[in-house]
Amino acid sequence: MSEIITQEQHHVKLPEGSIGKQTTTLNLGPTHPATHGVFQNILEVDGERIVSAEQTVGYIHRAFEKIAERRPLYQITPLTDRLNYCSAPINNMGWHLTCEKLLGVKTPKRVDYLRVIIMELARISDHLICNSIVGVDTGAFTGFLYVMQYRELIYEIYEEVCGSRLTTNIGRIGGFERDFSNTAFQKIERFLKEYPVVLKEFENLFQRNRIFMERTMGTGGIAADRALNYGFTGPNLRATGVDYDVRVTAPYSSYEDFEFDIPVGTTGDNYDRWLVRNQEMWQSLRIIEQAYRKIQDFKGEEASVYHADVPEYYLPKKQDVYTKMEALIWHFKIIMGEIDMPKGEVYQAVEGGNGEVGYYLISDGGRAPFRLHFRRPCFIYYQAFSEISEGAMLSDAIITLSSLNLIAGEMDA
C-alpha cells in the first residue's frame, strides 16, 4: 500500500516511520474529562496496553513567580490560592509562615490552633475530592456526590472565616483578618459531629469493596526508593511506606502540640494511596478535635487573640484608620506596599494536600521578593507517571492519574 501512494502524493506530512508503526498514538488530554485537569499525555498504546507516555504540562502557566517579584508580601497570598486550589488555605498558611519566618514574627498559640483547624479542614477537603474521584473513575459515582455535602460544609466554614470559598486568601501575616465567629465554631462543631459518620459510610463503600479493590490493587505502584528518587512527598510517598510528613519532621504552627499518627502503606499502588488518604482524614479529624478543645481552654484576654502584634504588616482595623494617626500611617504604608522587608533567604515547607509545599523566598531588602520559588509537589511527582504507567492498561492509567491527585494549577504555577 505504502508503495503505491506516497506521502508526497497526498500532500500530508506524517511523522517519520508512522506507516510501518505497530502501536497507536493516543492523546489523553489536555481537556479530556478523565484527566481532571489541563495536562496532556501522549500515550503510545499497543492495543490497550501503554508502551510509553510523554507528558506535556504548562497549559495554565500564569507566571506567578514573575508576578510575585513585583508585589508586596500580602498581595502574593492570592497567588498561592491558585496553586493547589483544592486546599488553598494550606498554601495561604504556608505563605504566611514563610513571611513570618523572614520577618521574625511570633504568632500567639491561639492563632496557631485556629490555623491548624483551617489547614486540617483543607486537607480533608483535598483528600475527599481525590478519594471520591478515584471512586468515580472506577465507576462508583455515589460516594463522590455524597461527600460533596461535607466539602460544602467545609467551604461554608471558610466562608464564615474569610468570606470566600475556593480561592480563599485566608489569614494575614501574623494571624487572621478577623476572629472566628460563633457561627464558624458552630459549623466546626457540626462538622466534627456529622463527618465521622459520613466518612465511615464512605469508607464502607470502598475499602473492602471487591470491585474497587480489584481495580486499584497492584496498579500504579511505585517502590519507595524510586518514589524518593522522583521526589515524591505527601500521601503518595507515604503509600510506599516512607513515614515522611512535614508536620512531624519540621513542625510549624504548633503541630508539635498535637497527638496524631502518620498512616503509611506498603506497595505504593492506587489502593494504598487511597487507604493512606482515607486514614489521614481520620487523623485530621483527631487534630481538629484537639485544636478545637484547646481553643475552648483559652481564658481571659488570650481567648480573643486572633493575630500577632505586627503593625508593619498587619492591617489595622478600619475604624482605627479613621480615628487614629498611627493606624492611618500603617494602613497607608501597607496598602501602598511601602515597607522594606529585611534581607534574607528563607525556605519554609508545609505539608500540603499532595506533599511538601515549599516556599523559597530571597529578599534583597526591597519591597517585593527578589525571587520567589514555589516547590510544587505535583509538578515534581508527575514526572514519574510515565514510569508508573508503562506496561499498564489504559483504564488503570486513568485511575493512577486521579489517585496521584494531579492538580493542574499546582503543576504549572
| CA-to-CA separations, 277 to 84, 222, 341, in angstroms, rounded | 16, 16, 39
99-118 residues near another protein, rule: CB under 8 A:
101
Instruction: Give the span between the Cα atoms of 43 and 50, in whole angstroms.
Output: 7
Please tell me whether the peptide bond between 196 and the residue prior to it is cis, using omega within 30 degrees of 0. Answer: no
381-410 residues near another protein, rule: CB under 8 A:
381-384
Binding window for another protein (CB under 8 A); candidates: 180-188, 212-220, 290-298, 378-386: 378-386
Q: What are 328's three cell numbers? A: 492611618
Binding window for another protein (CB under 8 A); candidates: 23-31, 120-128, 170-178, 374-382: 374-382
The footprint of another protein on this chain (CB under 8 A) covers a number of residues equal to: 40
Rounded to a whole number of angstroms, the minimum distance from the CB of residue 64 to another protein is 11
Rounded to a whole number of angstroms, the minimum distance from the CB of residue 390 to another protein is 14
Binds another protein by CB under 8 A, chosen from 18, 149, 181, 249? 249
Smaller CB separation from another protein, 150 or 381: 381
Rounded to a whole number of angstroms, the minimum distance from the CB of residue 98 to another protein is 10
Q: Comparing C-alpha atoms, which of 60, 62, 57 is closest to residue 79?
A: 62
Could you tell me the strand order of the sheet in which 371-375 lies? 344-351, 356-363, 371-375
By CB under 8 A, tell whether 360 contacts another protein. Answer: yes
Smaller CB separation from another protein, 85 or 244: 244
By CB under 8 A, tell whether 285 contacts another protein. Answer: no
By CB under 8 A, tell whether 250 contacts another protein. Answer: yes
Binds another protein by CB under 8 A, chosen from 48, 194, 338, 345? 345
| Sign of the dihedral through C-alpha 320, 321, 325, 327 | positive
Do the strands 49-56 and 40-46 form a parallel or antiparallel pair, or are they unpaired?
antiparallel
Binding window for another protein (CB under 8 A); candidates: 7-15, 153-161, 339-347, 400-408: 339-347
Q: Residue by residue, what is the 3-state secondary structure of 349-402? A: EEECCCCEEEEEEEECCCCCCCEEEEECHHHHHHHHHHHHHCCCEHHHHHHHHH
By CB under 8 A, tell whether 228 contacts another protein. Answer: yes
Q: What are phi and psi of 50, to 5 degrees?
A: -85, 125
Instruction: Give the span between the Cα atoms of 278 and 242, in whole angstroms.
Output: 17
Smaller CB separation from another protein, 62 or 190: 62
Binding mask 297-336 for another protein (x = CB under 8 A): ----------------------------------------
Q: Is 356 left (phi over 0), alpha (psi -120 to 50) or beta?
A: beta
The contacts of residue 245 (CB under 8 Å, 6+ apart) are: 238, 262, 351
Instruction: Give the span between the Cα atoms of 331 and 336, in whole angstroms.
Output: 8
41-80 residues near another protein, rule: CB under 8 A:
57-58, 61, 63, 65-67, 69-70
Smaller CB separation from another protein, 332 or 347: 347
Instruction: Give the span between the Cα atoms of 78 and 95, in whole angstroms.
Output: 10
Rounded to a whole number of angstroms, the minimum distance from the CB of residue 55 to another protein is 9
| CA angle (117, 376, 178) in 5-degree steps | 30
| Sign of the dihedral through C-alpha 287, 290, 293, 295 | negative
Binds another protein by CB under 8 A, chosen from 109, 165, 324, 373? 373
Binds another protein by CB under 8 A, chosen from 198, 305, 328, 362? 362
Binding window for another protein (CB under 8 A); candidates: 142-150, 222-230, 284-292, 310-318: 222-230
CB 140 within 8 A of CB 180: no
Binds another protein by CB under 8 A, chosen from 165, 226, 324, 333? 226
Binds another protein by CB under 8 A, chosen from 112, 351, 396, 412? 412
By CB under 8 A, tell whether 371 contacts another protein. Answer: yes
Instruction: Give the span between the Cα atoms of 4 and 234, in whole angstroms.
Output: 56
Instruction: Catalog residues that contact another protein under the rule CB under 8 A.
Output: 57-58, 61, 63, 65-67, 69-70, 101, 226, 228-231, 242, 244, 249-250, 344-347, 349, 356, 358, 360, 362, 370-371, 373, 375, 379-384, 412-413
